[in-house]
Amino acid sequence: MRTSPGSRILSVGAYRPRTRVGNDAIAARIDSSDEWIRRRSGIESRRRAADDEDLVTMATAAATKALAGAGVAPRDVSAVLLATMSYRGRATTVAPLVAAALGATNAAAMDLGAACAGFPYGLATADALVRSGAADNVVLIGAERMTDIVDDHDRGTAFLFGDGAGAVVVGPSETLGISPVVWGADGAKSELLRYAETGTLRMAGPEVFRWATAVIPPVAERALEAAGITAADLAAFIPHQANLRITTAAARALCLPPHVRVATDVITNGNTGAASIPLAMAALNGTSGPALLLGFGAGLAYAAQVVELP
């Protein structure tokens, strides 16, 4: 077994569904308005997956782009990890289906269930697999069809969520391209985000907002400390794209200097759950250097780490 001093993200790939849905179409179903949705969330539009854009299709497309960018062949993939909270297929997990579609026939494959914190949880897992020597190249995907689990008439959630998939390839590195993870969970507050008896997502919005804005700054500071850097050393801040107001409050609390790019993918793609961080990372194409990733959501779970952008 060959261990590695560190691991790094080799490349990023994204898949965004073809159909863009503006606020007016959503507002008509929840007795609201475009202005109300923008003021409450910062969202202007989101992507909605068509029938032929299922989770396997979107995840495979994003992972294929990431593998091409990394120059890694599917046969050289050791593991396929897929973070999702919206899979409703007949198979118990979606990762093996994606591995088969990629042609990664030698790879282990498993789903990770940490909701909107799933991507940084998965990144910590991929990093450990590579550094321990258990894997050479890991494909990590965040993929969601949130529209499958959201009630179009629920005023608290219908306007927030969108669909899509983002993927990265993680491989060995002589330096720490992925810093130690800082993570945790608060199960006592799990009722704030839960499934209703109908199988659709329900959220206590104001309470989740207060929890997120309270949790993010100290977790972010601990992640920076674990990486041995300060906010001034960052090139980018890429939090889970839950709500533009949460992102803005977090950036302000961290006193980020003007040169730090703050991901705002939520404006045009909504909250895409476990896919939101890799999708936002892909949208910052051309940015290099250290980036602070931070996921948070149902569970309630959270995780953060600093990574070197590919």
For the chain, first and last CA: distance in Å? 26
pLDDT digits (tens, 9 = 90+) for 17-28: 999 999 999 999
Q: What whole-number percentage of the chain has pLDDT above 90?
A: 94
For position 286, what pLDDT does the model report? 87
Residue 302: what pLDDT?
A: 97
Q: 10 Å Cβ neighbour count for 214?
A: 12
Lowest pLDDT segment from 8-22, 49-63, 84-98, 264-278: 84-98
**pLDDT value at position 172?**
97
Band of residue 7 on the pLDDT scale cut at 50, 70, 90: very high
Which single residue is written with the structure tokens 């890429």? 238
Average pLDDT, the chain: 96
Mean pLDDT of 288-295: 97
Query: Smallest Cα–Cα separation from 3: which of 126, 176, 134, 123?
Result: 134
Amino acid letter for position 81: L
Give the per-residue pLDDT at 260.
98
Tens digits of residue pLDDT in 102-126? 999 999 999 999 999 999 999 999 9
Structure tokens at 10: 């080799």
Q: What's the token pair of residue 19?
A: 């159909």
Determine the pLDDT at residue 1: 65
Q: pLDDT tens digits, residue range 54-91?
A: 999 999 999 999 999 999 999 999 999 999 999 988 78
For the entire predicted model, the pTM comes to 0.97
Q: Is 126 exposed, middle or buried (CB count within 10 Å of its CB: 0-12, 13-18, 19+)?
A: buried
**pLDDT of 3 higher than 90:** no
Of 133-147, 185-199, 212-226, 271-285, give the lowest mean pLDDT range: 185-199
- Look at residue 91 in the predicted model and tell me its pLDDT: 82
- Ordered DSSP codes for 117-183: GHHHHHHHHHHHHHHHTS-S-EEEEEEEEGGGTS-TT-TTTTTTB-EEEEEEEEEEESS-SBPPPEE
* Location of structure tokens 């854009």: 53
Mean pLDDT of 122-150: 97
* 54-58: long-range contacts, CB 8 A cutoff, minimum separation 24: 54/89, 54/145, 55/84, 55/86, 55/87, 55/89, 55/94, 55/143, 55/144, 55/145, 55/165, 56/89, 56/94, 56/97, 56/98, 56/101, 58/15, 58/17, 58/143, 58/145, 58/163, 58/164, 58/165
The predicted structure's pLDDT at residue 197:
84
Q: Residue 170 class from Cβ within 10 Å (0-12 exposed, 13-18 middle, 19+ buried)?
A: buried
* pLDDT over 90 (residue 2): no
> pLDDT per residue over 220-263, tens digit each?
999 999 999 999 999 999 999 999 999 999 999 999 999 999 99
Q: Nearest-CA neighbor of 272 among 303, 289, 288, 295?
A: 295
What is the set of active-site residues?
116, 240, 271
Name residues whose C-beta falls within 8 Å of residue 240's C-beta, 6 or more positions apart in sequence. Answer: 116, 117, 271, 276, 277, 294, 295, 296, 297
